[in-house]
Structure 1
Amino acid sequence: MTSNRMIHSVIFSLKHEKGSAEELRFLEDGRSALSTIEVVQEFKVFKQISHKNTYDFGFSMVFDSEADYEAYHVHPQHVAFVEDRWEKEVVQFLEIDYSEV
């Protein structure tokens, strides 16, 4: 049986020096801003440990439906984080959106 739930993951690298206070602040500010949006579930922050790609971190979250996912994209907290932080501090990223089959 399939589910309407979807997982939104974005893997990324920052312009900040690895291990810096700026890097940590970005991750914590992302967690604070995005995890408190009502439709976001199971928000997690990950650090890449493999050397198989060039990304350093990941944000992952679950939505009950595509409608919740779309609501997240236009939510003022998400829009502000993207405009104020993401666009200025992220140097590369890849988004992956998937659901269970």
Structure 2
Amino acid sequence: MGRETIRHMVAFTLHSPAGSAEAERFLSDGRKILSAIPVVKRFEVLRQISPKSDYDFGFSMEFDSKADYDAYNAHPDHEAFVEQRWKKEVSRFQELDFTFL
């Protein structure tokens, strides 16, 4: 991983209960749609286990550069997922973007 690499993570809670068919479908569809965007590297779907956090899930991915991160944000599949699924199914979230030291 180079210094330009960006790790993009988002912790979130869905309107649907964790473990429900709706939640599992959202996570599965998120993996399928977002990991297929060519600039996305090391996509992961995460389940929260810490009692110190009240978010249920996470998505984590890496980008080789800021240009790739910007391309991801502007990609039509990402924009469609945000508009059609994220805004309707996610009740709250925290987004984090890191570079490596």
Give TM-score scaled by structure 1 length: 0.97
Stretches of structure 2 lacking an aligned partner (at least 5 in a row): none
Counterpart contact for 2:14–2:92, Cα < 8 Å: yes
- 3-state SS in 2 of match to 1:97: strand
Confirm or deny that 1:17 pairs with 2:17.
Answer: yes
Could you say what secondary structure the match of 1:8 adopts?
strand
Contact (CA 8 Å) 2:11, 2:58: kept in 1 or not? yes
RMSD of aligned C-alpha atoms? 0.8
The correspondence of residues 1-101 of structure 1 with structure 2, limited to 5 A, is: 3-101=3-101
What fraction of aligned residue pairs are identical, expressed as a percent? 55
Letter of the structure 1 residue corresponding to residue 20 of structure 2: S
Counterpart residue type for residue 97 of structure 2: D
Unaligned residue ranges in structure 1 (runs of 5+): none
AA paired with 1:43? F
Q: How far off its partner does 1:84 sit?
A: 0.3
Cα distance in 2 for residues equivalent to 1:89 and 1:100: 31
TM-score by length of 2: 0.97
